[in-house]
Structure formats: C-alpha cells, structure tokens
Structure 1
C-alpha cells in the first residue's frame, strides 16, 4: 500500500513552534494580537492563502509576513516540535512491512526534511515533497502532483492528514483519504469532507493501516 503523510498535526505536534512564529510575525507586522486558539487555526493550510483572508494583506505584505514567520521558525520553531506518541513505531513498522511511505506537506521542503532528519524518521520515507521557498508550490494538491511527477503513478494510495485541505487534495487526485482527529482541525472539519476513514488517535491509525487496509 502507498501512504502519503502530512507532517504538522499528523506526524508531529508542532503547535508551540508554529504559534510562536505566528505571534512573532504578527508583532513585526504591527497587527492586532490573536489568542492561542485562533493561532492554532492557521496550522495546516498555506499561509499564502490564509494570511490575506485573515489579515487583509496584499501580496507584498503577505510575503513579508511569511518571511517574518520563517525568520522565527528557522531559528527556534523547528526545534519546538515533537513526534506524536507511537508515531515513530508506526512509521517504522509500516516501512518494515513493505508499505511505501511518502510525505506531502505545505511546509517548505528543505525545512520539512531537516525536521524529519532531526527526529530520525526521514529514513522511513521513499520521498518527501513540500512547498517551494518562493511559494510557487504551496497548495496540497500541487504538492501531491509534484510527488507523482518525481516518483511516478501512486497506485492504491491514501492521503493521511489532519486538515480539510489534505482530504480535498486527495479527492482531486483520486486517492483514498484518511483524516486524523488528534491534529489541528476544527470540530466537524474533517467529517464534512467525508473521508474514507477517520482515526481519533495514533493507536486507531495504526490499527487501520497495519490490520485493516
């Protein structure tokens, strides 16, 4: 089986680093402060798409805000994330049993690789594709398209993610979809996209991937 994993909110709990990075960018842009629960909502979707909607920014200011965010995240935020309990073992066992694992993330590709290597999970993946530094590739469906371009057609593939954007991209690429509820989705967000499967935690995801599919 082929499994495409999202990173933030699916493999790693990156809430602290991302929300601190967002708070830093908001302060640098002299925008009104947001409470933690609002900052969490920014985790997952592309900043290129949500910053203009959330803050009324034009293209240039959006780029500037993303640069401030990356300034913090590249120095501190990347080290403020942890694997979800049981995730290392899940990836290891899936790899050992011959499943093909790929990572498809809206995080900049170089940063996603650096984080994956630091957490010692990069070795389990046959490929990793993320956003480009210039944000020319930032939508999840574009990330998946690039992954297919590099690695060829992915048969019997499932996209695994914690946000609606993951499930929508899977449908557009005619893949199966698995939503995980332990990430950063709002209540009902994943259910509205009607994925093939929904898992409440890592143990239930493990059971689905290793025993049922």
Structure 2
C-alpha cells in the first residue's frame, strides 16, 4: 500500500490489549481461573501471551483442544466472572502512551479505541486509567461475540462515525489488526511493544512497524 500524501488530520483507531495497555497479568490469571474451574490443565503462564488480542473464545477452544462450542462458551463465562470484578484492572498503561495520545489529540487527530474485547469492559478500563479524555469513542465487541472480528469491527466504526478510509489508520500489535485494516482499505501500523511479532505484522500487510509509542507522532503525520 503506497501512501505519500501528508494529511493534517487523521482518524486513528487504537487496539487496546498489547497496544495501549499491557493486560498480561489479568488475562492470564482469568484464563487460569476458568481452566482450573473446569478441571483442565493450564499451560505455563509465559505461553499464554498468544491469547492476548485474538477472540478469546477461539483461544479457549485451542487451549481445551476441543471442538465443543459449549465447553468453550462455559470457559468464557468462567473467565468473565473473574475478569469483570478483578482481572480488568490487573493491567498497566504502556510507558509514554498518555503523552503520545495527548500530542496526537492536540494536533487535531481523532482518536478511537477499536478492540475485540467486549465494549463494556473496554470502556471501564479506559476510564479507570484516565485515558477516556483522549478518545472520541471506545468501540469493542458485544458479549455475544458480535464484532470480535477486526474486519467487521473496523467496518462498523467507519460506518458509525462516517469516517473515510483514506483518512484513517489502524494501530495494533496483532496480525488481526493489520488484516482488518487492509480489508477496509486502511493502512495498519504494527506496534512491537505488545504481543505480535514483526514477521507476523509485516506478513499481514503492516504499512510500518514501530518499536516505541513515541514514533507514532511522526509516523502518523506522513500517512
């Protein structure tokens, strides 16, 4: 995707887990809770990073090594029991993120959250960490699984906010973010401080990969 026109204002869609906040502790502890409640073995915590970002029900199906949709759904319910009260706050904002968001907003860019996490939880997390002042709106999935797919979610945001794809960009740490962006005609900026790899991001069509949140300010100016 060749992009050469510098724009004064962009619509910037941010993933949440692995992009704005490091949610490893909360997510992995809630996965452990769900799996142990079901009497199932839990992989070592250090291997659970791959569950951060993708739709969680699919991750449970893989962890359970089962095609039983009801079992994966039960695991998701148990996960949410702990996450809704404790797990969502076992989380931290990545270094420099608040300053970068403030700078981008100050330059006239419109900021949105675009996460596969249920919107009801995403809004609580963004408020808890005092990030809501930077965003025009927080978008996520529904508890029934609607819009967990990033292609569908981004399309929903573009339609709901009447945004032009050529004036918008997706920022995220996973290949799902890059694929969703590309399927909607947006460039995707891959971030390397989260849970994806440069190889996966580039293979999924990332316009560029960034090592530090502070690189966003300059990179956004030339998309």
Q: Distance in 1 between matches of 2:198 and 2:101?
A: 27
Do structure 1's residue 194 and structure 2's residue 205 form an aligned pair?
yes
Gaps of 5+ in 2: 1-9
CA RMSD of aligned residues (A): 1.5
2:119 maps to: 109
Q: Deviations over 1:88-133 (max 9, x none)?
A: 0111111111101111001110110011011111121112210101
Q: Distance in 2 between matches of 1:137 and 1:202?
A: 26
Runs of 4+ in 1 over 3 A off after TM superposition: none
- Is the 1:162–1:182 contact (alpha carbons within 8 Å) kept by the matching residues of 2? yes
The 1:57–1:23 alpha-carbon spacing in structure 2 relative to 1, beyond 3 Å, is farther
Question: TM-score, normalised to structure 1's length?
Answer: 0.94
Note the C-alpha offset of 1:204. Answer: 2.3
| Aligned length in residues | 212
2:55 maps to: 46
Farther-moved stretch of structure 1 (127-136 vs 9-18): 127-136
Do structure 1's residue 139 and structure 2's residue 149 form an aligned pair?
yes
Q: Distance in 2 between matches of 1:119 and 1:4?
A: 18
Farther-moved stretch of structure 1 (165-174 vs 56-65): 56-65
Gaps of 5+ in 1: none
Q: Distance in 1 between matches of 2:89 and 2:63?
A: 27
Note the C-alpha offset of 1:134. Answer: 1.1
